[in-house]
Structure 1
Amino acid sequence: MPDGPSIAAALLGALIGLGAPRVARRVVLALPPVVEVRPPLSAAASSALSAESSAPGDGFSVRAGAVVAGAIVFGGLTVALRADPGLPVFLALAAVGLVLALVDRACLRLPDPLVGVAALIAGLGLTGIALLTGTPDRLLGALLGALVAGGTHVVLALLPRSRLGFGDVKLATVLGLPLGWLGWPTLWLGLLLPHLLHGLLVLTLLATRRVRRDTVLPLGPALLTGAWLATLLP
């Protein structure tokens, strides 16, 4: 049941969600152009995503969705991890994750500077907490989690006809740090859930004819959502 800390965290998440589309828009506009041929979206998907793809955050629906997502993500993390000293790190990662998800949805890219910020937050934050609390074993678990997550996604990216980009590999590696901090069951769940969620999304969009078989869809939001859900489950 929601209480003071979780409500306060949800409000903070809503505020961060309110500003996330504006930050994402600036990131997208600052990205260097990439000469790359991508399969076009279907007509329905193109019209639905056009405003978002050209400038994330210009539409009310995008801002409202980011506010709701921020509130749910921050509130959920606070309820699930209140007793964990790493909660501030998880919340900071969630803030960066909101921006990353918006950027990836808009232009199918996960910029290295943003992923690097997430890596610094996770790496330095969890290292500091492990030293302060005298729990080096949890830091080792975080490092092993990053190694396993990164290695697994490198293999997936190298498979024939794989659409997994190395931006996705880098983000998965970073997310392995907090997942490994929470333990092996959380790590394995955090590795599995994103691909299940992404697969369900693809099947749904194909069934409703909003995309084609050759349409490229962003994986970053699924990686972030799956990692978040894994932290909520015991």
Structure 2
Amino acid sequence: MTLTVVGAVVFGGLAAARGGDPALPAYLLVGAIGLVLALVDLACLRLPDPLVALAAGCGALGLLVAALVTGAAGGLLAALAGAALSFAGYALLAVLPGSRLGFGDVKLAAALGLPLGWLGWSALGLGLVLPHLLNGVVVLALLATRRVRRDTALPFGPAILAGAWLAVLLA
């Protein structure tokens, strides 16, 4: 039941925000794979490479089709730049001493940087910042309710996905 509601909110939000956009199928495909990735990360603190690659491939293919339909080749360059910038920023965060960010998170950020880059720099910026704000609120609530300790490992993939989703809605 909960997954059905979350899926309806994710797909309904994307359809409402990007309704006439030829890139909508790309967003819906990435959203569907993102739901699976979030469940996997919540269950076992892992973002499987094949699923992340599938999300990136579906996003890239959907954006390529949208670029062909609209003639917006510049959007593809912006999407690739968004993926590269997301990868570089998250890779830097992952190698910082004491970082709990895994390279699955880095690869997911790059995969989501494609559709965010397609929407523009403000969407990409939001998609890079919102996950940290969302995760901070969740962690503070979990710490306040004593459900976790400071050294408890928590998944970050769901926050990355939620932040990207919100950035698409706000773009």
TM-score (norm 2): 0.98
Q: Deviations over 1:51-83 (max 9, x none)?
A: xxxxxxxxxxxxx21111000010000110012
Say whether residues 1:127 and 2:64 are aligned partners. yes
> Could you list the runs of 4 or more consecutive aligned residues of structure 1 that deviate by over 2 angstroms after TM superposition?
none
Pairing of 1:194-209 with structure 2 (within 5 A):
194-209=131-146
Q: Name the residue aligned to 2:29.
A: 92
How much does 1:119 deviate? 1.0
In structure 2, what is the Cα distance between the partners aligned to 1:193 and 1:228? 10
How much does 1:151 deviate? 0.4
In structure 1, what is the Cα distance between the partners aligned to 2:8 and 2:61? 25
**What letter is aligned with 1:176?**
G
How much does 1:114 deviate? 0.5
Pairing of 1:1-234 with structure 2 (within 5 A):
64-234=1-171
In structure 2, what is the Cα distance between the partners aligned to 1:84 and 1:140? 18
Q: Deviations over 1:101-158 (max 9, x none)?
A: 0000000000011111101101122112212221001111100000111100000001
Match of 1:181, SS state, is helix
In structure 2, what is the Cα distance between the partners aligned to 1:131 and 1:143? 16
Cα root mean square deviation, aligned? 0.7
* Bigger-Rg structure (1/2): 1
- Unaligned segments of structure 2, at least 5 residues: none
